[in-house]
Amino acid sequence: MQNQRLAKLFEFLSADPNDSFILYAIATEYNVQNDNANALKYYLKLTEEHPSYVGTYYHLGKLYEKLGEKEKAIAIYQNGMNAARQKRDMHALSELQGAYNTAAGLDYEDD
């Protein structure tokens, strides 16, 4: 079933190679399958070719955290917050800020 989904997504991509949503769907499908290398490849492709596709940054940051690359995750969250501000996407900004705070160790609570 999963391979069928990827096959269909790649069909869509061949029809429209510049569609950011399809690239995001491919990256996410690889991520769900724990194919970290391919998920990373497509998330990075999105940040390079479609830097304003804000949804990428949260998931790429989480993938970097999963891979033990906290500094890269923090940098990606920062890039995503900048992209969200530019798009005035306050919901995405809030999610990215929360992920950044957690990764950077800033999510402590006052007693």
* Domain boundary assignment for the chain: 2-103
pLDDT at 103 over 90: yes
Q: Is the pLDDT confidence value at 107 over 80?
A: no
76-78-83 Cα angle (round to 5):
95
When pLDDT is averaged across residues 9-21 and rounded to a whole number, the result is: 95
Locate 55 and state its tokens.
């949804």
Is the overall model pTM greater than 0.75, yes or no? yes
- 59-97 pLDDT, tens digit per residue, is 999 999 999 999 999 999 999 999 999 999 999 999 999
User: Could you tell me if 57 and 34 are in contact, meaning their C-beta atoms sit under 8 angstroms apart?
Assistant: no
Q: How confident is the model at residue 106 (pLDDT cuts 50, 70, 90)?
A: confident
The reply to whether CATH 1.25.40.10 applies to domain 2-103 is yes
pLDDT for residue 3? 84
Angle, CA 49 vertex, CA 54 and CA 87 arms, to 5°: 30
